[in-house]
Structure 1
Amino acid sequence: MDFYHSEDNNKLRHVVNWIVDIVVVIAFAWFLVYAYGTQIVIAGHSMLPLLASEDVVFMDRLVYDFGNPDRFDVVVFQREDQKMNVKRVVGLPGETVQIKNDGIYIDGERLKEPAGPGRISLAGLAEKPIKLGAQEYFLLGDNRDSSEDSRFANIGNVSRDQIQGKVWFRMLPLVKMELIRSK
């Protein structure tokens, strides 16, 4: 009887292949959950109409390991009080941001925003020009009149280190399940 063609050896090879397949699937699933499966529950109405209170979104934690946030990305950041917040990137590192005449001005020019947020009745700290540092971002909620964001001293400019990831998918409520795209 040939050892390499025995029936017992074929069964063993089949079991080993099966175990290897399971380990590969588990490793791949772990990677996906780690990278894309961080759940964030939206608290408050600062991101209306895009995201409502109690919506559940997934955050991509790896996207900014390979790049930096872009203007209009919806990001998750950790506040100084350790709470997680979701806001939209408006000002990028090195830019000067000011809010006046119901609009956002970047380096003296009015920002052309896609349809949505509308007027801003309270400029807060951005009433005067704010120069962003090399690793700082200016974040605003989409519901500008009901958002605690970079316009206020308790949030202020958000450092790159505080940004945890990018919101990419709304999971709940099921009737609103969708990909979240930058404007």
Structure 2
Amino acid sequence: MTGKQQAQRGAYEWVQTLVYVVLAVVLLFTFVGRLSRVQGESMRETLQDRDLLLVLNGYLCGSYEAGDIVIAQRGDFNDGAPIVKRVIATEGQTVDIDFNAGTVYVDGAALEEPYAREATWLAEGVEFPLTVPAGCLFLMGDNRNDSEDSRSADLGPVDSRCVIGKAVFLALPGKTADLNAREWNRVGFLR
């Protein structure tokens, strides 16, 4: 084999490898998961604006449970942009919020919420107690008083078919506004 033929064969093998890699990435993002960026402050302190998350596609997650962080998208809310929120209650559960004490209750039990930035003071238009309809989830941001979520009459309980998937891993932290740097110690699995 001549030098020219060896070079052509090497180039062919590189192109072939590149095609396989691109195909594998496309299949991975189509059937397994995707990347999603956090927009806004509604999940502080758990997640920051511009964090990049690895999201498992909804059909791989099975059912969602209270405490899961999910990405939902509905065309008539938030200009159709995806939202990142925490599951508070699932279908059939009753949510109540004592806005004087700032406490969230599910089925009569006060939630222990170490992830919540502060107590829940802000009421946004949904009447409580509220029983979550079949096939829906009640979602709230961890930054309760700076989050438009299922407490809003504009969103309310979210149909689980609108959930893109479950956020499982913080892949790339967003740059902090004050230092324009990344907090690498936050990379890892989400709780």
TM-score range, shorter chain: 0.7 to 0.9
Secondary structure of the residue aligned to 2:30 is helix
Distance 2:117 2:82 in 1: 22
Spell out, residue by residue over 1:19-52, the C-alpha distance to the aligned partner (whole angstroms, 9 max, x if none): xx95876654443333455222211100101111
Residue 170 of structure 1 is matched in structure 2 by 170
Identity across matched positions, percent: 33
Q: Counterparts of 1:60-75 in structure 2 under 5 Å?
A: 60-62=56-58, 64-65=59-60, 67-75=62-70
- Across the aligned residues of Structure 1 and Structure 2, the Cα RMSD in angstroms comes to 2.6
- In the superposition, the TM-score normalised over structure 1's length comes to 0.76
- In the superposition, the TM-score normalised over structure 2's length comes to 0.74
Secondary structure of the residue aligned to 1:89 is strand
Distance 1:70 1:93 in 2: 10
Q: Would you say the 8 A contact 2:38–2:52 is kept in 1?
A: yes
Using the TM superposition, name which of 101-110 and 28-37 deviates more: 28-37
Residue 12 of structure 1 is matched in structure 2 by none
Distance 1:34 1:122 in 2: 38
Q: Counterparts of 1:13-52 in structure 2 under 5 Å?
A: 28-52=24-48
The reply to whether residue 121 of structure 1 matches residue 121 of structure 2 is yes
- Extract unaligned runs of 5+ from structure 2: 1-12, 174-181
Deviation at 1:168, TM superposition (A): 1.6
Q: Check 1:113–1:120 CA distance in 2 against 1; reply closer, same or farther (3 A cut).
A: same
Residue 98 of structure 1 is matched in structure 2 by 96
Distance 1:66 1:51 in 2: 21
Residue 177 of structure 2 is matched in structure 1 by none
Using the TM superposition, name which of 42-51 and 74-83 deviates more: 74-83
Distance 1:41 1:167 in 2: 10
Distance 2:67 2:84 in 1: 12
Number of residue pairs matched by the alignment: 164
Residue 10 of structure 2 is matched in structure 1 by none
Larger Rg: 1
